[in-house]
Amino acid sequence: MGEWKVLTTVVGEPQAQLLASFLRGEGIPVHFRSHVPPSVYPFTADGLAEVQVLVPAEDLERAQGALAAFASPQGDGEPTLGS
């Protein structure tokens, strides 16, 4: 695997881990990039808790489709956890 591309940015490692589990279930490898070390006391201050979710460049298009499905509303009108 060569180049990694940013798929999306989420707030907090729990959201990043949830999305990563979904993507890995679709067979897409995932890495994270964050500017703050993990903490037991999550916080947000000027984007410090943001986590970039990266996927291999060759999987970016497939990952974007998976992300759209992950974030789309269910049939009952309730959004999924990713939205």
Token representation of residue 81: 């956890």
Give CA–CA dist 80/83, Å, rounded. Answer: 6
Give CA–CA dist 68/37, Å, rounded. Answer: 28
Q: What is the pLDDT of residues 11-46, one digit of tens each?
A: 888 899 999 999 999 999 999 998 766 555 555 555
Q: What is the pLDDT of residues 58-73, one digit of tens each?
A: 999 999 999 998 887 6
Give CA–CA dist 4/35, Å, rounded. Answer: 17
CATH superfamily of 4-71: Hypothetical protein rpa1041 (3.30.70.1530)
Residue spans of the domains in the chain: they are 4-71
Q: Whose CA is closest to 4, among 64, 52, 57, 51?
A: 57
Q: What pLDDT does 11 receive?
A: 86
